Structure 1
């Protein structure tokens, strides 16, 4: 589990602000499921989705997502992973490949997996709710933001310890939310080797 607890460039949970927020969310509880629930709802509800709110700057590092209070789904997943890891809870990154406006082209969508002792790996999506999107924390049942409904869409079973290169390229090479929206990351992850490969129900 070491790689899913590590602090890194983009999941920088040892940053003082991230560590402070993680400790605040865990206050008065030693129940890892409860702490994971608090972290999930904080990121889902308190960090604004960049495109929904047309809010700059483009963020990538967990500490920047927290500082600016905004991020695309990928960036929000980096912050959620950081908050969970800071509390000693293994967490990784997951991806779906979805259509844009219900037809090709495709783009990746970022979410998380957290390891809960009583449930094992459990996926959760802190993208942020809006009409038609209702993600919740209700283990062992998954309630993600998006279902796979269109031909060619994929729900990847891998869990990544670090952000995918396509995601980093989109977030680091564009300076506005509009530019990212025009260059959303895409990749066929089914052909790639991942650190952990699980089948989620």
Structure 2
């Protein structure tokens, strides 16, 4: 079982020990002492100021939190890395969660892909999921704990909320973001995992 302190450590992907990430985290937190308010400020920054790579047709493909901050763009996976890094830099435990969704919002089903979001551990609330992928028509993710308002709902067979809260990015996600050089190549090869079904 993952201990809470594992959600406070820097990793090669969630590199909040990078000077630019530390600086941005301090800037966002300001004089705030309230962890929930700091979490909201970090969430809204990543949701609104970091452009979703596919929505905005933007390169380069980013992976590390520091790269996302530098280039101001990223897929949901990369944006979740930056949000986790900004929160951890303010000593707020944060992890990564995934949903499995129909890639093209296809009511018939596949192809399916992973979608990344975050969970933050807030005092008096516990783990709270939030989705900073970026709002657009049909997507209205908000930060309003303890009420959860994510970008996507699970609607069809094959889609799922995956229950784990990961301390670092899944290897299948890292592999895709390292392998492909443009946003459209990533979109054509979005990572997926098979669902574990009970027999």
TM > 0.5: yes
Q: Where do residues 82-101 of structure 1 align in structure 2 (5 Å cutoff)?
A: 82-101=85-104
Q: Deviations over 1:82-128 (max 9, x none)?
A: 00000000000000000122220100000000000111000000000
Q: Which moved more, 1:164-173 or 1:73-82?
A: 164-173
Paired position in structure 1 for 2:168: 162
User: What is the CA–CA distance in structure 2 between the aligned matches of 1:180 and 1:141, rounded to whole Å?
Assistant: 32
Partner of 1:53, secondary structure, is coil
Q: Deviations over 1:112-156 (max 9, x none)?
A: 000001110000000000000000000001000000001110101
Pair 1:29 & 2:32 matched: yes
Paired position in structure 1 for 2:81: 78
Q: Deviations over 1:30-72 (max 9, x none)?
A: 0000000000000000000000000000000000000000000
Paired position in structure 2 for 1:175: 181
Runs of 5+ consecutive residues of structure 2 not aligned to the other structure: none
Partner of 1:121, secondary structure, is strand
Q: 1:57·1:176 contact (CA, 8 Å) conserved in 2?
A: yes
Q: CA deviation at 1:5?
A: 0.3
Q: CA deviation at 1:28?
A: 1.4
Paired position in structure 2 for 1:153: 159
Q: 1:156·1:190 contact (CA, 8 Å) conserved in 2?
A: no
Runs of 5+ consecutive residues of structure 1 not aligned to the other structure: 192-201
Paired position in structure 2 for 1:106: 112
Q: Are residues 19 and 95 of structure 1, via their aligned partners in 2, closer, same or farther at CA, if it must alter by over 3 Å?
A: same
Q: CA deviation at 1:188?
A: 2.7
Q: CA deviation at 1:190?
A: 4.3
User: What is the CA–CA distance in structure 2 between the aligned matches of 1:137 and 1:152, rounded to whole Å?
Assistant: 27
How large is the Cα RMSD of the aligned pairs? 0.9
User: What is the CA–CA distance in structure 2 between the aligned matches of 1:27 and 1:18, rounded to whole Å?
Assistant: 14
Pair 1:115 & 2:118 matched: no
Partner of 1:30, secondary structure, is coil
TM-score (norm 2): 0.94
User: What is the CA–CA distance in structure 2 between the aligned matches of 1:83 and 1:189, rounded to whole Å?
Assistant: 30
TM-score (norm 1): 0.93
